[in-house]
Amino acid sequence: MAKKEEPVTRETVDRLCVLADLPLAADRRGKLAAPLAGLVAAANELSRKMAEGSRRGVLPITRFPEL
Amino acid sequence: MAHADLLNLTIAQAAPKLERRELSPVELTEAMLARIAAVNKRLNAYITVCDQQAREAAQAVERLIRAGYYLGPLHGIPIALKDNIYTRGIRTTAGAKILADFVPDEDATVTARLKRAGAIIVGKANMHEFAWGGTTDNPHYGTCRNPWNPERFPAGSSGGSGAAVAARTCLGALGTDTGGSIRLPSAVNGIVGIRPTIGRVSNYNVVPLAWTMDTVSPMTRTVEDCLTMFEVVAGHDPLDAHSAQVPVADYRAELGRGMRGLRIGLIRDYSLTHVQKAVGDAVRSALKTMERLGAQVEEIAMPSIHGNISAQLTIESCEPSTYHQEWLRARPQDYGEDVRTLLEMGEMYLATHYLQAQRYRSVLRKEFLAGFKQVDVFVTPTLPFTATPCGATEVVIENDRKEDMLSAIMQFTGVPSLAGLPALSLPVGFDPDGMPVGMQIIGRPFDEGTLFRIGHAYQGETDWHTRAPKL
């Protein structure tokens, strides 16, 4: 069963800014939490699907085979 | 020729007149420059109009024709280039304040190839800042507007190229397409645009958005004109590390083969799902036309199709944020608010999110390649809605529910981008407000020829592409 998402909060954004060495002003950090929550939730859902055992052998595409 | 007649010429119509010297490149270029002067204040389709360079180029290519050197069907043809494509000696802003004074000292490979073919660059087209967005609501160079109704958006990010072609200010343009940026403006401006197979057209000296998905390609009024520009820009480029070593096909040989025997796939619970009524009606009608011409339509299941929007947003967030990392720290105030926010958020994904999205591409591509054993192409609408009002950030597709524009606009175009497949958008009708509807045809890797074949046959039976906006 999928784990319930923790919402991305202002504090989450603060921590991510430190991790990314991205010095954002307080007003900007406040603006990011809500839209980022939606993006991260969708990315986590895709990650869960891609992490399934049946897909363990799938390689990432960063360059197309024809090249 | 009368001014109005010149404006409505297609490349296929103008080229033989230029070759036979019934029409001069100078006359045609002057007509386009006059048209730009007449409509660009209303549309904002161009960031830079290259009056002087265009006149000089027109005179030069005219001298060649007079001397008996005809270079081919783009000789003397006025075109526009999206402003993220390098032009030697002409500023290339990528729609950004950060590059407002950037004047490249060399051309992009595609620019050089078009110049060698005799094309005349009349201007650099407006675009969404750094190509990161789908509206061309540009805070630095002004909002680009749709010629069919200047209160509506031209989509993006190649919105200027789309508006410029539809408004008859040039006979063709180049755009760039990462997640839909050629096909979306082609659809809402009622013109044709193709996203090539990744690696088919060089990205050298084109300001990148997302390296693993970026492409460059033409936007025109007819499929035949699109092919004419495509066969000039397509082909291996040793200067581009991602350029494919695959021979360029004889695309022109596909024209005139008709649609008989072709198998067209609809993706179950996807191709005609969650679209505005007018969009669904127009695409269904186009499918009927294609069946009447001898194609067979069948439904194919594609179980992984619905992860596409998240995968696209993840990749299109992480890769641009990597490219912009230094500028975002040094000059954050020089970005528009929407692009700055997207770039900031792109730094906050996990590496696993990005890699899972890239792994998703493998799954999606495998399902498409399996599907291509049953059908020759897949069809979807290009986008699920018609042009929205300029400045809108939300859109209603069905049931009066407002949706975020950026996610909604990617519903169909992101799929071939992720799978590395070519896709053509062409006009298939209008909504009750008179705004164009586009249909997307997705092909096998490096099979752009079949897309041109189908599109040309369809345009032989319909007149959507001949209609012009009243400006």
Concatenate the DSSP letters of all residues of B8-24 into one string.
Answer: T--HHHHHHHHHTTSS-
Quickly state the pLDDT bin for A64 (edges 50, 70, 90): confident
pLDDT at B44: 98
State whether B314 and A43 contact (CB < 8 Å).
yes
In a domain, B471, yes or no: no
B215, B445 contact by CB (below 8 A): no
Please report, as a single letter, which amino acid is at residue A64.
F
Upstream peptide bond of B157 is cis (omega within 30 degrees of 0): yes
State whether A36 and B348 contact (CB < 8 Å).
yes
For B107, the 3-state DSSP assignment is: coil
pLDDT at A5: 56
Quickly state the pLDDT bin for A48 (edges 50, 70, 90): very high
Which residues on A lie below 8 Å from B310 (Cβ)?
Answer: 39, 42-43, 45-46
Q: Is A28 touching B (CB cutoff 8 A)?
A: yes
Q: Is A46 touching B (CB cutoff 8 A)?
A: yes
Q: Active site includes B407?
A: no
Q: Which two tokens stand for residue B457?
A: 């046959």
Min distance A16 CA to chain B CA atoms (Å): 6
* Torsional sign, CA B88, B91, B93, B94: negative
pLDDT at A4: 57
Q: Among candidates B72, B286, B43, B58, which has minimal Cα distance to B165? A: B43
- State the residue range of the domain holding B460: 3-466
> Which stretch of DSSP H or E encloses residue B315?
helix B308-323
Q: Active site includes B82?
A: yes
Mean pLDDT score, A41-52 = 96
Which residues on A lie below 8 Å from B421 (Cβ)?
Answer: none
For B409, the 3-state DSSP assignment is: helix
B311 φ, ψ to 5°? -60, -45
Q: Which two tokens stand for residue B125?
A: 């087209």
Q: Which two tokens stand for residue B443?
A: 């092909």
Q: Quickly count helices (H) and strands (E) in chain B.
A: 16, 15
- Spatial distance between the Cα atoms of B175 and B193, rounded to a whole number of angstroms: 9
The residues, ordered by sequence, that sit 6+ positions from B417 with a Cβ below 8 Å of its Cβ are: B177, B178, B179, B180, B195, B213, B312
- The C-alpha torsion from B431 through B435 and B436 to B438, rounded to 10°, is -70
- Spatial distance between the Cα atoms of B45 and B185, rounded to a whole number of angstroms: 12
Q: Among candidates B2, B10, B63, B6, which has minimal Cα distance to B29? A: B6
Quickly state the pLDDT bin for A3 (edges 50, 70, 90): low
Q: Among candidates B247, B223, B214, B265, which has minimal Cα distance to B451? A: B223
In a domain, B220, yes or no: yes
pLDDT tens-digit profile, chain B (471 residues): 888 899 999 999 999 999 999 999 999 999 999 999 999 999 999 999 999 999 999 999 999 999 999 999 999 999 999 999 999 999 999 999 999 999 999 999 999 999 999 999 999 999 999 999 999 999 999 999 999 999 999 999 999 999 999 999 999 999 999 999 999 999 999 999 999 999 999 999 999 999 999 999 999 999 999 999 999 999 999 999 999 999 999 999 999 999 999 999 999 999 999 999 999 999 999 999 999 999 999 999 999 999 899 999 999 999 999 999 999 999 999 999 999 999 999 999 999 999 999 999 999 999 999 999 999 999 999 999 999 999 999 999 999 999 998 889 999 999 999 999 999 999 999 999 999 999 999 999 999 999 999 999 999 999 999 999 999
pLDDT at B361: 96
Closest CA in chain B for residue A48: B356
In a domain, B264, yes or no: yes
pTM of the predicted structure, to 2 decimals: 0.97
> Which stretch of DSSP H or E encloses residue B123?
strand B120-125
Q: Which two tokens stand for residue A63?
A: 């360059």
Find where tokens 């269904």 sit: B284
Q: Is A7 touching B (CB cutoff 8 A)?
A: no
In a domain, B22, yes or no: yes
Q: Which of B200, B356, B446 to mutate to test the interface with A (most CBs of A within 10 A)?
A: B356
Which residues on B lie below 8 Å from A5 (Cβ)?
Answer: none
The residues, ordered by sequence, that sit 6+ positions from A52 with a Cβ below 8 Å of its Cβ are: none
* Candidates B24, B124, B157, B417; catalytic one: B157
In a domain, B207, yes or no: yes
B443, B244 contact by CB (below 8 A): no
- Spatial distance between the Cα atoms of B137 and B141, rounded to a whole number of angstroms: 9
- The C-alpha torsion from B98 through B103 and B108 to B111, rounded to 10°, is 120
Closest CA in chain B for residue A36: B345
Please report, as a single letter, which amino acid is at residue B434.
G
The total number of structural domains in chain B stands at 1
In a domain, B33, yes or no: yes
Q: Active site includes B317?
A: no
In a domain, B363, yes or no: yes
Residues in chain B: 471
* Candidates B24, B82, B202, B317; catalytic one: B82
Quickly state the pLDDT bin for A65 (edges 50, 70, 90): low
> Which stretch of DSSP H or E encloses residue A26?
helix A26-50
B163, B204 contact by CB (below 8 A): no
B453, B294 contact by CB (below 8 A): no
pLDDT at A1: 45
CA distances from A34 to A11, A38, A39, B341 (A): 12, 7, 9, 12
- Spatial distance between the Cα atoms of B222 and B147, rounded to a whole number of angstroms: 17
Nearest Cβ partner for A47 among B244, B356, B446 = B356
| CATH number of B203's domain | 3.90.1300.10
